[in-house]
Amino acid sequence: MEIAGKKDVMNRKEIEKRLEKIDLTLPPPETEPERQYYFIRLLQDWAEKKKKELGRPLYANITTFGCQMNARDSEKILGIMQMAGFEETESEEADFLLYNTCTVRENANLKVYGRLGQLKKQKEKNPDMVIALCGCMMQEKEVVEKIGKSYRNVDIIFGTHNIFKLAELLSIKLLDQRAKQKMLIDIWDGTEEIVEDLPNERKYSFKGGVNIMFGCNNFCSYCIVPYVRGRERSREPEDIIAEIKCMVQDGVKEVMLLGQNVNSYGKNLKNPVTFAELLRRAEEIEGLERIRFMTSHPKDLSDELIQVMADSKKICHHMHLPLQSGSSRLLKVMNRRYTKEDYLLLVEKLRKAVPDIALTTDIIVGFPGETEEDFEETLDLVRTVGYDNAFTFLYSKRTGTPAASMEGQVLPEVAKERFDRLLTEVQQISAQKAAKRTGTVHTILVEEVNQQDSSLLTGRGSQNFLVHFPGDKAQVGTFVNVRLEESKGFYYLGKQV
């Protein structure tokens, strides 16, 4: 299939214009994204009739599990559904219900099975409801087999490589009589295809995520992501910059550049570009005020990038730098390709270049072969670095990864005990870090009216901390200066100055 549009730079109006040109009397085009426009048009006609028949709108409910990649994919899915004539709803009593799944740890899978079981009743109430599953978990053969056998109420399953095909799959399901009774399964493996120029929504009007690359090549020995998201592929820098410019025109002030390892961005492009260079180009975009990125792999964190951060006025003073373990021996078995010393050196360089930088991390406890000494080294490193926040994970065996068949699997009770010790340590350190910042004034991007107390606004500082402070809802999406008055652990209470 030919890749037609490569830029995610069209706004809703432009897409609507292109949709109008579609002739439904012809067979569907072969090229993307025109082919999907064709199916969106089909769905629009179907939805018009259906809404009249029901005397109410059609509702779509999307639940997202997992990371920022999935969150961004869900925005794209919602964009397609809205264009097709559905309205978003928070309720699971919907006409279209989708779980965008994650499989990074086993728990993630269990959650989805639990939720699917509960849907049986919903479907009895509304037999026309379409239940769809997509995301990383669906890239696992055993999962799809299990759902095929045990969860017959599922209508559509697709994977991480063909999200752009949603309108086509839904059209088949809704319009083709033969497909109605069958579970429609469409999973692709390892495609290079990046189809863009499709409708896409954003949760916030003033900030948004931008995919700069897809997939991962690192094969950390515990991790399933490279198997379910495929090989690393970067978007062209011109396409990324054009997308950000388009977002800024629509009122976006802060972007989050997304990739499993943004530090290796651009290496496999025909004309290679470094991530640091991409950031330099983004910095020049007029009207863009803040740049964030996620995630940085320590092995690819270059001096050039640190310099760009130091020189930048827009890059936020926060880096999420997953450590995984403080033991160089375990890091090697994890295939992380850095040592404890390499990591500490990076932290030193970062703090020298950007003194008020906030550092956050991910840590796995109970990796196969982890001894008490290895674990102590992790604790020690956590103390030495003094993270602003750390996400701690109990090691979870993922079928097909090298670690799953390693010797020395740690007993669950031992792992749990270490996990609790680590968590206590992490919480103490981040509370100390947060307390140090009280009394200082920060520029905050206001994100929303506080859900518990509508007299309060909630926003984020450059270092990614949250602060609640009294204000007016008209300030959502603007920058205000706030003094951090009291640290509450997860967030601050503050006052505008």
* Contacts with ligand F3S, residue ranges (CB under 6 A): 66-67, 69-70, 102-104, 136, 225, 228-229
Q: Are 274 and 302 in contact (CB under 8 A)?
A: yes
Distance separating alpha carbons of residues 359 and 73, to the nearest angstrom: 26
Q: How far is the CB of 160 from ligand SAH (least distance, A)?
A: 14
Q: Are 223 and 174 in contact (CB under 8 A)?
A: no
Residue 80 burial (CB count, 10 A): 24
What element of type H or E holds 275?
Answer: helix 275-283
Residue appearing with tokens 């919602």: 78
- Beta carbon nearer to ligand SAH, 225 or 350: 225
Q: Are 87 and 57 in contact (CB under 8 A)?
A: yes
Q: Which two tokens stand for residue 417?
A: 């005990």
102 binds, among ligand F3S, ligand SF4, ligand SAH, none (CB under 5 to 8 A by kind): ligand F3S
- Beta carbon nearer to ligand SAH, 224 or 446: 224
Q: Is 216 in the site for ligand SF4 (CB under 6 A)?
A: yes
274 Cβ contact partners less than 8 Å away, ≥ 6 residues apart: 265, 266, 302, 304, 305
> For 354-487, where are the alpha helices, taking DSSP H only?
372-385, 412-437
Q: Which residues of 429-449 are buried (b: 16+ CB within 10 A; e: fewer)?
A: bbeebbeebeeeebebbbbeb
Q: Is 212 in the site for ligand SF4 (CB under 6 A)?
A: no
Q: Is 53 helix (H, G, I), strand (E, B) or coil?
A: helix
226 binds, among ligand F3S, ligand SF4, ligand SAH, none (CB under 5 to 8 A by kind): ligand SF4
Q: How far is the CB of 295 from ligand SF4 (least distance, A)?
A: 7
- Beta carbon nearer to ligand F3S, 260 or 458: 260
Q: CA angle, corner 263, sides to 258 and 269, nearest 5?
A: 85
Q: How far is the CB of 322 from ligand SF4 (least distance, A)?
A: 7
Q: How far is the CB of 263 from ligand SAH (least distance, A)?
A: 10
Distance separating alpha carbons of residues 411 and 415, to the nearest angstrom: 6
72 phi-psi bin (left φ>0, alpha ψ -120 to 50, beta other): alpha
**Site for ligand SF4 (CB under 6 A): how many residues?**
10
Binding mask 351-380 for ligand SF4 (x = CB under 6 A): ------------------------------
Distance separating alpha carbons of residues 435 and 431, to the nearest angstrom: 6
Q: How far is the CB of 485 from ligand F3S (least distance, A)?
A: 35
Binding mask 229-268 for ligand SF4 (x = CB under 6 A): -------------------------------xx-------
Q: How far is the CB of 278 from ligand SAH (least distance, A)?
A: 18
Handedness of CA 80, 85, 90, 96 (dihedral sign): negative
Q: How far is the CB of 295 from ligand SAH (least distance, A)?
A: 4
Read off φ and ψ for residue 360, nearest 5 degrees.
Answer: -125, 165
Residues that bind ligand SAH (CB under 6 A): 104-105, 222-223, 225, 260-261, 295, 297, 322, 324, 362, 364, 393, 395-396, 398
Question: Looking at 28, 57, 226, 369, which residue binds ligand SF4 (CB under 6 A)?
Answer: 226
- Beta carbon nearer to ligand F3S, 198 or 223: 223
Question: Looking at 22, 47, 84, 220, which residue binds ligand SF4 (CB under 6 A)?
Answer: 220
Q: Which residue is nearest to ligand F3S (CB)?
A: 66
Q: How far is the CB of 391 from ligand SF4 (least distance, A)?
A: 12
What element of type H or E holds 240?
Answer: helix 237-249
What element of type H or E holds 390?
Answer: strand 389-394
Q: Is 61 in the site for ligand SF4 (CB under 6 A)?
A: no
Q: Is 218 in the site for ligand SF4 (CB under 6 A)?
A: yes
Binding mask 292-331 for ligand SF4 (x = CB under 6 A): -----x----------------------------------
Q: How far is the CB of 129 from ligand F3S (least distance, A)?
A: 25
Binding site for ligand SF4 (CB under 6 A): 216, 218-220, 223, 225-226, 260-261, 297
